[in-house]
């Protein structure tokens, strides 16, 4: 019987030697959601394909009226270094943060941050998109995870993005569509610029939205899956 195994996650454990549980199987295809994930999982001889994320366009809603940076992460305390939680105090010195997601309650206290420098909320998606679009920029401090949909949603909404140059973010944010760096001080410097010079973010946010529409649009996503399912079942 034709079979596909959809792998949403980046490997964990003994990276880069993490063995996929479906490695060396001739009876299925492993489908990764980023090229980074396919590169780092050891799938042995199992056939692999990549179908990158596709999301419904929430629309170009950006206003940037609030001089703060939006961060979206679930359980930042438990996931800690994976999600770059330890970097937030330094980044909060550059720009006030609004951290959205599950398990964010009490984050400011745990990080010894003043409440005005780190606010938290867990909102339904319908409210989250509006809240993100009101912030001046989107910050993605994640060290190690699969490509977060929140980053793609922020780009679709028209936010300029600042992200660590790690995992799938390297390809999701092409040159000119935001700032990528492995140096938190570089992200903090650009955040200060966006904060004090709103016009400086205009070109980046326009290119970010265009890049997201072209690469992560729903039409391309559905076409890729249709092609793959047809091929496997034929």
Question: What is the tens place of the pLDDT at every residue in 113-157?
Answer: 999 999 999 999 889 999 999 999 999 999 999 999 999 999 999
150 and 84 housed in the same domain = yes
CA distance 29 to 47: 5
Contact (Cβ atoms closer than 8 angstroms) between residue 18 and residue 40: yes
Residue 12 lies in a domain: yes
Residue 60 lies in a domain: no
138 and 195 housed in the same domain = yes
Domain count, the chain: 2
- Domain span including residue 14: 4-53+217-233
Q: What pLDDT digit, counting tens, does each position of 80-98 carry? A: 999 999 999 999 999 999 9
> Does residue 16 have a cis peptide bond before it, meaning omega lies within 30 degrees of 0?
yes
27 and 81 housed in the same domain = no
Residue in this structure with the two tokens 């909102």, named with its chain if needed:
123
CA distances from 75 to 29, 49, 99, 104, 120 (A): 31, 30, 11, 6, 12
- Percentage of the chain exceeding pLDDT 90: 89
95 and 207 housed in the same domain = yes
21 and 103 housed in the same domain = no
β-bridge mates for residue 159, sequence order = none
Candidate from 45-49, 74-78, 107-111, 194-198 with smallest mean pLDDT: 194-198
- Asked whether the predicted pLDDT for residue 203 surpasses 90, the reply is no
One-character DSSP codes across 65-92: -EEEEEEE-SSHHHHGGGGTGGGHHHHH
110 and 226 housed in the same domain = no
């Amino acid at each position: 019987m034709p079979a596909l195994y959809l792998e949403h996650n980046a490997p964990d454990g003994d990276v880069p030697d993490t063995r996929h549980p479906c490695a060396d199987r001739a009876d299925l295809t492993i489908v990764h959601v980023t090229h980074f994930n396919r590169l780092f999982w050891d799938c042995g001889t199992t056939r692999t394909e990549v179908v990158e994320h596709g999301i419904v366009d929430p629309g170009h809603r950006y206003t940037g009226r609030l001089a703060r940076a939006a961060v979206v992460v679930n359980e930042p305390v438990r996931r800690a270094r994976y999600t770059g939680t330890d970097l937030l105090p330094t980044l909060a010195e550059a720009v006030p943060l609004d951290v959205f997601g599950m398990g964010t309650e009490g984050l400011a206290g745990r990080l010894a941050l003043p409440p005005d420098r780190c606010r938290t909320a867990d909102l339904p998606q319908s409210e989250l998109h509006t809240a993100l679009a009101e912030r001046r920029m989107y910050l993605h401090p994640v060290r190690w995870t699969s490509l977060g949909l929140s980053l793609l949603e922020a780009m679709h909404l028209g936010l300029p993005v600042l992200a660590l140059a790690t995992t799938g973010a390297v390809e999701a944010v092409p040159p000119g569509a935001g700032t990528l760096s492995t140096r938190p001080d570089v992200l903090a410097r650009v955040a200060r610029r966006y904060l004090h010079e709103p016009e400086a973010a205009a070109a980046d946010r326009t290119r970010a939205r265009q890049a997201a529409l072209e690469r992560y649009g729903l039409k391309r996503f559905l076409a890729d899956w249709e092609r793959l399912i047809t091929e496997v079942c034929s």
